[in-house]
Structure 1
C-alpha cells in the first residue's frame, strides 16, 4: 500500500514512504538522516561498481576508489584474482594507499608499517613481541569485500551473503553485452578518466542518465556545435522507436538511437559520416579491411543507449559514468572514456578520435557536462524551498506498456527509468 504524500505528513513519513509511483518527496534530496540510511541500506548492502577489468591489466595493479563513502582498493593479486579490500589499516585505522592507480607488491601503512599482501592478508608487523598472547594475526588482514564481475565490469559489496551478481544484474546483462560491442571486434578498455563534483544529491544524477526529456533543452549548445548528421542522429524527441525500458532491480535502459542499440545489426545501408573520412583514410593506409573499418567507425558514437545500473554506474552511449555520494548535498562524478583494445596502428587513431568526441561533450570544457551539472545544482537549490512540494516522476505513466520481454516501457522522454530506480530505492529503504 502506498502512503499519500501531503504537506501535512511529509515531515513525519518514514523514508520508504517518501516515494510514490508518480512522485517523490523533496526530502529525499535534502534530509541528512535519509542520506545516512542510504549509505547503510543501499550502498553497503548491494553490488556497487568499482572498476573495469582493463584497469587491472597485470598482477599487482590496483585502483583505489569507494563503495558508498567507504574507501576501498581493488587489486589483481599474484594469482590474477581480483580482490576488493577496505583501505583501512587494522591497527590504528590509517589508509594504506593514497594513489588512485598503480602497481605494487602489497600495501604498507605509513603510520606503524603494518604490511599487507595484494589479497589483504597481513604480512608483517614491526616489533611483534608486543603482541604475544594478545592478538591472533590470522584475523587481522584488511577487510575483504565480496567481489564478482560480469563482462569485465567489476562489482563489490559489503553484504555477507548477497545475491549472485548475475541475478542482481538480471536482464541488464543483455544490454551490457551490447554496450561492449563498441570495441568494433576488439575488447573494450579504459582510455582515461576525469572527476568533478556538483552541489547536489546523488539521486539527481541517477535520474539524469535516464532522462531524455531534458536533452534538446539543456544540450542546445552541444547540438549547435556538432555536424548536421550527428545532430540529426540525436533528434529523438518525436521518434516513436526511441524508448525506455524498466529492466527490474532498479536498472533501466534509454534507447536514444535505436538503430545503434546492437552494433552487430548492420545491413550495410547506413552511410558512415563524412566527419570520419580522415580516420577512414588513415585506417585504409595501414591495410585495415573495409568491413573492420565499418565496424570501428559505426561504433564511434557508441551504442545509442544509456544503461543505468542501480545504484552507482551507467554505461552511457560511449563512456562509463560513476557517481559517488559525498554528503546529502554533494556528489562526485567520474567520467571514464573507453575504446577498443587492439593493435596500436589500428586502435590508436580510433581512440584519439573517441577521446576528442568524449572531451567535446563530457570534458570539463565540453558542451554537455557543464550544462548538466548546472541543472543538477539548481535542482538541489530549488528543493530547499517548499519541502512539502513533490518531485514529479509521472511523465508517460499513462502510456507505459510491457515490451515483448515483459519490461515496463514508454517513450524515451518519459520517466520510466526514474520510476524503476525509485521503486528499488523504496524496497531497500524499508525498515529492517
Structure 2
C-alpha cells in the first residue's frame, strides 16, 4: 500500500473527515486489513448452528468464513477454502455438512475444526512432500473465536484484547437483549432480510445515531402514517413506528448519546419504555418476565430503552425489537446489510410477532422507511465523488462532549459525537495504535 500513516492521520480532524475515507479503493483495502483483519467481528449466533455439522457462512471484511458446530459442541470459524485448489468448500447460506467437510471439487475431506481428514487415491501423494498433518493441507481456522451470551465473534489477529474488553460497555445492550427473555436466551428466527446499499460501509454506522436526519429523510413515511392514522382515528403499532421519526427537533435534542472506546455506542430509545404494563403485548411480556425475575428486575430490564446500538465493525443490535443489523462491506461503494431477527425464548409469541412487524415495516427492502436511508446513503457516495468540496463536516456540538469512564456522552441528542467517536477508533485502527491492531503492516 502506498498510503502512509502520516497521510491517513491527516484525513481525520476533530470535527470532520476527508471525503476520500468513503471513496478511495486503496483506503478500503487497508480497512479490510487493519480493521476487519484485526478487530473482533460478529460472525453469527450459536442458534444458527444448533447441531453438530450445522454451518453458517458469512464474511469478515473481504474474507469468506464458515461458522460450524463440532461434535463436541464447540463452535469453530474457518476460512471457506479448500487448501487443494482453493475452492469454496460450502455454498453461501446455512446448511448441514454432516460429520465432516467435503470439497465438491476433488473430495478432499476435513474435520469440523478444519483439520485435514482424507484425500482420494492417497497413493498418488506418496513419495512427495505432502504431509497430511501439516497446517498447509487443512482448512485454516481463524486465530481467535469467542462467544458472548450466544453471540459468536472472531478475530483474524493472533493477538489483541479479549472480546469483552473490546466490546466494552456495549455488552450491556447484548445483555439486555438476552435478559428480555424469561430464560435469558435468544435465537435467530423468522428469516433474514438482505439489503444491498450503494455506499461505503461507514455511512450506515454514522447514520444509526444521526438524530438530525429522521424528520427530514423520512418525511414522506411520517406524513403517510399520520394521514392514515387520521383516517382510522387511531394510531396502531404499524403506524406508530413509522410516525416516530417525525418528532420535532426538541424531542431529538433530549435523547442520550453514549460513545465507548473502539467506536461503539448507543442511542436512547424513541418509544415509551413505560408501556410495559399497558398495551396487551407488552403487558403479557412483562408478566412472563415478572414470573422469572420479579417485578423490580423486570421493570429494570424493560426500562433500558435503547434504539440503536453500534458494535463498530459488526453492526447494530436493537434490543427493544430483537434484531441485529449485520453490516458487511463488499467494496468501497457497496455494503450488504443483513437483518437478523431474534426470538426471546420463553416469551409470549406475540412479542416475536411484534418484532417481525417492526422488521417488515421499518427495515425490509420493501418498507416505507429503509429505502429513504438507502437513497441518501447513495447520494452521499455520489456527491463525495464530485469536485464540490473535500471535507465532511462533523461540527455539531464538537468540543462539548463529556468524558466519562470508557468513553463520552453528548450534551445534546443532536450532537455528532457518535461520528467523531467512530473516526477516533478508525484512526487508531488504521495507524495500528490499538491492541487489536498491533503487529500489522
- SS state at 1:110 partner: coil
C-alpha separation between the residues in 2 aligned to 1:87 and 1:52? 18
Contact 2:217–2:372, Cα closer than 8 Å, also in 1: yes
- SS state at 2:395 partner: coil
- SS state at 1:43 partner: coil
Shift of 1:137: 0.8
* Deviates most, 316-325 or 369-378: 316-325
Contact 1:256–1:304, Cα closer than 8 Å, also in 2: yes
* Equivalent residue number for residue 5 of structure 1: none
Shift of 1:157: 1.3
| Cα deviation 1:265-320 (Å, max 9, x = unaligned) | x7xx86524xxx4x579x69xxx769569999999999432111111211135211
Which consecutive unaligned segments of at least 5 residues does structure 1 have? 1-9, 261-265
The answer to whether residue 133 in structure 2 is matched with residue 127 in structure 1 is: no
* Equivalent residue number for residue 250 of structure 2: 238
Shift of 1:116: 1.2
| Cα deviation 1:235-284 (Å, max 9, x = unaligned) | 37424541111111111111134864xxxxx7xx86524xxx4x579x69
The Cα RMSD (Å) is 3.2
The answer to whether residue 315 in structure 2 is matched with residue 313 in structure 1 is: yes
Indicate how the Cα distance of structure 1 residues 375 and 401 shifts in structure 2: closer, same or farther if over 3 A, else same. Answer: same
C-alpha separation between the residues in 2 aligned to 1:14 and 1:62? 41
| Cα deviation 1:53-105 (Å, max 9, x = unaligned) | 22122222110111111100001111111100000001110000004112222
Contact 2:256–2:410, Cα closer than 8 Å, also in 1: yes
* Equivalent residue number for residue 34 of structure 2: 41
C-alpha separation between the residues in 1 aligned to 2:254 and 2:5? 42
The answer to whether residue 350 in structure 2 is matched with residue 349 in structure 1 is: yes
Contact 1:182–1:339, Cα closer than 8 Å, also in 2: no
Shift of 1:184: 5.2
* Equivalent residue number for residue 272 of structure 1: 278
The residue correspondences of 1:168-317 to structure 2 (distance < 5 A) are 168-183=166-181, 186-191=184-189, 192-224=191-223, 225=225, 227=235, 230=240, 235=247, 237-239=249-251, 241-257=254-270, 260=273, 272-273=278-279, 277=280, 279=281, 291=290, 303-317=305-319
Shift of 1:368: 1.7
Contact 2:244–2:270, Cα closer than 8 Å, also in 1: yes
* Deviates most, 174-183 or 201-210: 174-183
C-alpha separation between the residues in 2 aligned to 1:182 and 1:218? 31
* Equivalent residue pairs, number: 405
* Equivalent residue number for residue 330 of structure 1: 334
Shift of 1:408: 3.7
C-alpha separation between the residues in 1 aligned to 2:412 and 2:331? 33
TM-score by length of 1: 0.84
C-alpha separation between the residues in 1 aligned to 2:315 and 2:301? 21
- SS state at 1:307 partner: strand
Shift of 1:402: 3.0
- SS state at 1:35 partner: helix
C-alpha separation between the residues in 2 aligned to 1:405 and 1:70? 30
- SS state at 2:410 partner: strand
* Equivalent residue number for residue 136 of structure 1: 131
* Equivalent residue number for residue 384 of structure 2: 383
The answer to whether residue 394 in structure 2 is matched with residue 400 in structure 1 is: no
Indicate how the Cα distance of structure 1 residues 182 and 413 shifts in structure 2: closer, same or farther if over 3 A, else same. Answer: farther
TM-score by length of 2: 0.83
* Equivalent residue number for residue 419 of structure 1: 420
| Cα deviation 1:329-375 (Å, max 9, x = unaligned) | 11111111222123xxx643332232122101111211221111111
- SS state at 1:314 partner: strand
- SS state at 1:189 partner: strand
C-alpha separation between the residues in 1 aligned to 2:197 and 2:249? 27
C-alpha separation between the residues in 2 aligned to 1:175 and 1:151? 11
Shift of 1:31: 0.7
Shift of 1:37: 0.7
C-alpha separation between the residues in 2 aligned to 1:205 and 1:301? 27
Indicate how the Cα distance of structure 1 residues 181 and 216 shifts in structure 2: closer, same or farther if over 3 A, else same. Answer: farther
